[in-house]
Structure 1
């Protein structure tokens, strides 16, 4: 089984990524269950705006798209900015919009039988709103969202330290991250055994 993690931090490497640090907990949980994980840090790549799979020369999205189609699990990891997903998380959804009209050899949307989850970090509140927005978008594209397929780390209202600046709340985020990984693998395995049928023709 394979998984793709899209780290939608706004920070380019080598700047430390709080979102990447929490996503690594989920990666650990996936790898402990035999999943091979590929991580893409979108801030390090050229992913122009648009709703097509391939926007031509210099567009790095086609490689990400190929990796998603070669995997069973997608994890969208984002910081919270002004109570919303990062602009790069929104851009990832917009680029995946093209998948709605792409079909497999059984006439099904290519996201069928793939599961997705969300990782959120931020020193402000809004995690559940961000999770809802991203999960809703990925369901529209065709991904299956398992129960409790998310983890987050937030300190609540107001400014404060970042995930990498404190150990506060890490135990809870780690526990939910490992539960997220287990649930993603369980539902991906169930879909492999009993695939979603093609949509009705009428």
Structure 2
């Protein structure tokens, strides 16, 4: 089983990402269950806006799309900006929109029988809104979003410390992240054993 973590931080590498630091808890818990984990940071790639899988020369989204189709588990990793998902997270969902019309050889939509979850950080509130927007978009595309398939951390209202700079709330965020990994793995395993069939024509 494979899991793809798509980081929607606005920071290109090698800048550290607070949200990726929390996501590592989920990744470690999946790895402990025998899942192969891969990470992609979209800020490092040339992913122009659009709603098709391949925009032609220079578009690096097709490589990410291929990794999505190789993975049974997707974890979207995004900071909170002005109470919303990052602009890169929104672009990711827009590019994934093309998957609505893509099917496997048996006619099953390509996002079916895959599970997804969300990791969010920010030093202001808005995490539940971000989780709802990302989860709703992924469900529209065809992913299964298990119950409690998310974790988040925030410092509280207004400016303050970032995730790596404090121990505030880490225990809760980490335990919730481990539960998230448990639920993602359990539902992905169930779908592998009993997949959703292709829709009747």
- TM-score category (smaller protein): over 0.9
CA-CA distance at 1:57 after TM superposition: 1.3
CA-CA distance at 1:142 after TM superposition: 0.2
How many residues are matched? 201
Q: Unpaired segments of 5 or more residues in structure 2?
A: none
**Structure 2 counterpart of 1:12:** 12
CA-CA distance at 1:39 after TM superposition: 0.4
CA-CA distance at 1:199 after TM superposition: 2.0
CA-CA distance at 1:164 after TM superposition: 1.1
Give me the TM-score of the superposition, normalised by structure 1. Answer: 0.98
Distance 1:119 1:98 in 2: 23
CA-CA distance at 1:200 after TM superposition: 3.2
**Structure 1 counterpart of 2:66:** 66
CA-CA distance at 1:181 after TM superposition: 0.6
**Structure 2 counterpart of 1:142:** 142
Secondary structure of the equivalent of 1:37? strand
CA-CA distance at 1:180 after TM superposition: 0.4
**Structure 1 counterpart of 2:51:** 51
Secondary structure of the equivalent of 2:88? helix
Matched, 1:196 2:193: no
Distance 1:91 1:30 in 2: 26
**Structure 2 counterpart of 1:84:** 84
**Structure 2 counterpart of 1:170:** 170
**Structure 2 counterpart of 1:111:** 111
Secondary structure of the equivalent of 1:3? strand
| Aligned Cα root-mean-square deviation (Å) | 0.7
CA-CA distance at 1:13 after TM superposition: 1.1
**Structure 2 counterpart of 1:29:** 29
After TM superposition, where is structure 1 displaced by more than 3 Å over at least 4 residues in a row? none
Give me the TM-score of the superposition, normalised by structure 2. Answer: 0.98
Q: Unpaired segments of 5 or more residues in structure 1?
A: none
CA-CA distance at 1:107 after TM superposition: 0.8
Distance 1:8 1:17 in 2: 10
